[in-house]
Amino acid sequence: MAGQHHDRMVCVGQIATAHGVRGLVKLRSFTADPAAIASYGPLSDQSGQRRFNLRVVGEAKDQLIAAVEGIEDRDAAAALRGLRLYVPRERLPEPEDEEEYYLVDLIGLAVETVDGSPFGRVVAIEDYGAGDVVEIALAGKAGTVAAPFTRACFPVVDIAGGRLVIDPPPGLLDRPEPAPAGRRRHG
């Protein structure tokens, strides 16, 4: 799937809560220009099954207030709480300079160490709330590792060259040794 450009979805916002009684919602926009979220055409849920047409009608603190087509009352709006909104990658504008990129563009890139040795391939980018995490399928080994997507850990992001350079933090590749057969630790 990573190789199929048209299948790549980018999260551009998230519905926070209902606003008022007429079906409006408060949402957080993750786009450079927050109000542009409504200009990318219909948005969808992560599966792409449900579509949402938005119209931004105002702002409140760091959130937008939007009308969602087909959502007419507070209960329907409240049912959307927490919903992440996605758009196909190809609908987004290309970054204007080579230092900018979409995280989804990292999926499928080769990962190598600072000395040029193959390390693996990016299989996912996750955000568990403390910052982005890069999941890497290891080269020549079973399994994956997750590394924080920071400049210290990934000093080189070379989209044009199809690679990331990793300077793995201490312990990233350390795996706990299994307990000898027949012995278990109780903690």
Measured from the Cβ of residue 106, the count of other Cβ atoms closer than 10 Å reads 20
Give me the pLDDT at residue 2, please.
37
Measured from the Cβ of residue 85, the count of other Cβ atoms closer than 10 Å reads 28
Give me the pLDDT at residue 32, please.
81
Predicted model pTM:
0.66
Give me the pLDDT at residue 68, please.
96
Which is nearest to 123 in space by CA: 140, 109, 103, 113? 109
pLDDT block averages, 10 residues each, the chain of length 187: 53 94 94 88 91 94 94 96 92 79 89 94 84 91 91 92 91 59 49
Q: Which amino acid is it at 39?
A: S
Helix (H) or strand (E) holding 77: helix 74-78
Helix (H) or strand (E) holding 75: helix 74-78
